[in-house]
Amino acid sequence: MSHAQSQHRIIAPRRESLRDALSERRPLTAMFSIIPAIPVVEMIGLAGFDCAIVDMEHGPLGIADLMPLMLAADARGAFPIVRVPDATPHMIGAALDVGAAAVLVPQVVSAETARAAVSAARYAPEGTRGVNPWVRAASYGGGTEWLQAENRNAAVMVMIEGKDGLAALDDILGVEGLDAIFLGPVDMAQSMGFPGQPEHEAVVAAIEEAVERAGRRGVGVAVFAPDAAGAARWFARGVSFVAVSEDTVTILGAFTTLRRECRP
């Protein structure tokens, strides 16, 4: 195949777009993964979670670790999301290049940062993402139709995790192209003076208010829940995306329960 032919090769689309699912407020479940292991990400998909959030902020992961984990999520029917360590443009672009369906940007406290994250995820004229049509996301040879498809499909979510983010929430919700905010009760509890108490009534009230404000602006909302009961409560409150627990604590809990049940 010639270079010219490769530029016009048809790129097979994803089975659907996570960005569309977020826009349509479809109920979605996810789990965070900080264990850099293909089988763990596969099992998140096999368990039926809609998304696997590969965590570069808290996990021992670099860009070189991402590609097999993106493949593992895709292979088992889960959208691969990368929580990048920060809003650095090259990091956002690199995560999308290896096949992330969305980037999740932590500790966003201003509309400027949210706007920069959206720009880093979009090709010109909508943004400033660097173009390389030979990366995995482009099936190693995408043409102009792929650039347009990627601008339509790559989702951007930003995390509101403290008092500063809540104070700037209305401005953040007004950022064009932002697909969802992600409310993090663990960090929020710390910021609000209730360390280790993500279920504190003041924290829950702050998140509920943020959910309502986002709903009025037509922006998607995601929330972290430590367990299934917490997830059910947030779904009942109108949240459409809940990230439930994390791979480490889930695996340890299963091991502990099994060992306890094995005692004579």
Q: 11 φ, ψ to 5°?
A: -95, 120
Question: Which residues have CB under 8 Å from 90's CB, separation 6+?
Answer: 130
pTM for the predicted model, two decimal places: 0.92
- Over the stretch 138-178, which tens digit does the pLDDT of each residue have? 999 977 788 999 999 999 999 999 999 999 999 999 999 99
Query: pLDDT at position 6, please?
Result: 43
Give the domain CATH number at 98: 3.20.20.60
Q: Which residues are annotated as catalytic?
A: 58
Query: pLDDT at position 8, please?
Result: 45
Where the chain has pLDDT below 70, the residues are 1-15
Q: 181 φ, ψ to 5°?
A: -100, 150
Taking a C-beta distance cutoff of 8 angstroms, is the pair 128, 119 a contact?
Answer: yes
Query: pLDDT at position 12, please?
Result: 46
State how many domains the chain has: 1
- Over the stretch 167-200, which tens digit does the pLDDT of each residue have? 999 999 999 999 999 999 999 999 999 999 999 9
Q: Would you state the structure tokens that stand for residue 119, as one six-digit string?
A: 């720009």
Query: pLDDT at position 3, please?
Result: 45
What proportion of the chain, given as a percentage, has pLDDT over 70? Answer: 94
Query: pLDDT at position 216, please?
Result: 93
Whole domain around residue 15: which residue ranges? 3-262
